[in-house]
Amino acid sequence: MPIFGIDLTFIVLIPAMILAMYAQSKVQRTYDTYSRVGLKSNMTGAEVARTLLDNSGLHEVKIERVRGNLTDHYDPRTKVLRLSDSVYANRSIAAAGVAAHESGHAIQDKERYAPLKLRGAMVPLASIGSRFSMILFIAGLFFSETLISVGIILFSVTVLFQLITLPVEFDASNRALQVLEGYQIMEDGEVKKAKKVLDAAALTYVAAAFTGIMSLFRLILIRNRRNN
């Protein structure tokens, strides 16, 4: 029941919102800090990625530069690794860590890492869920219990997608940290600093998954309240 015009179910989202804001702030602060610390090997992010890909037998994977800050990603459909402006030509510990992480996704793809394949298979359903779940849920509040249930089911798919993303991201970071020192791209002390960058980035995925879970819980509360 709303009090003073406030929906009390919104309270369940507050911890998730706090975690999300903290995670975003932490990843930005950590990246900014280590983007100003030069890599002793003096390699750019693109050179780090190329080294890791080639040493993993992934010569066919292309590296492209994309606009933006921390917009880095690997596309398993086109076998292209895209590095942002802040990583591609940057010779810092942060850039090397991010480039190695994205290379880790390419290695996962080569090795047919199961969670990565499952996440890829879920992309169409997750896309539908993110687009239409709330529309159906809100429409259901006015018209039909069935629409509410369909909306919740679709939203559940997006939450499941976020949960499956967690092991994919953690594994890519672990792979990155293992090879950075192994290929003499970083010294031990530099690897520890790169780990701080990747750990901060991983926290944003944890925050996203937690937000998704709490949002789903809120939708269920609203549905149950309506039924009562």
Q: Over its length of 228 residues, how does the chain's per-residue pLDDT go in tens digits?
A: 444 345 677 888 999 999 999 999 999 999 999 999 999 989 999 999 999 999 889 999 999 999 988 889 999 989 999 999 989 999 999 999 999 999 999 999 999 999 999 999 999 999 999 999 999 999 988 888 889 999 999 999 999 999 999 999 999 999 888 888 778 888 888 999 999 999 999 999 999 999 999 999 999 998 888 776
Strand partners, 30: none
Which tokens belong to 58? 């992934």
Q: How many domains does the chain have?
A: 1
Which of 60, 64, 102, 190 is flagged as catalytic?
102
For residue 22, is it within any domain? yes
Pair 69, 86: CB distance under 8 Å: yes
Predicted TM-score (pTM) of this structure: 0.87
- Which residues are CB-neighbours of 5 under 8 A, at least 6 positions away? none
Residue range of the domain that includes 154: 8-227
Does 47 qualify as catalytic in the annotation?
A: no
**Does residue 2 lie in a domain region?**
no
The partner residues of 62 in beta bridges, in order of sequence, read 80
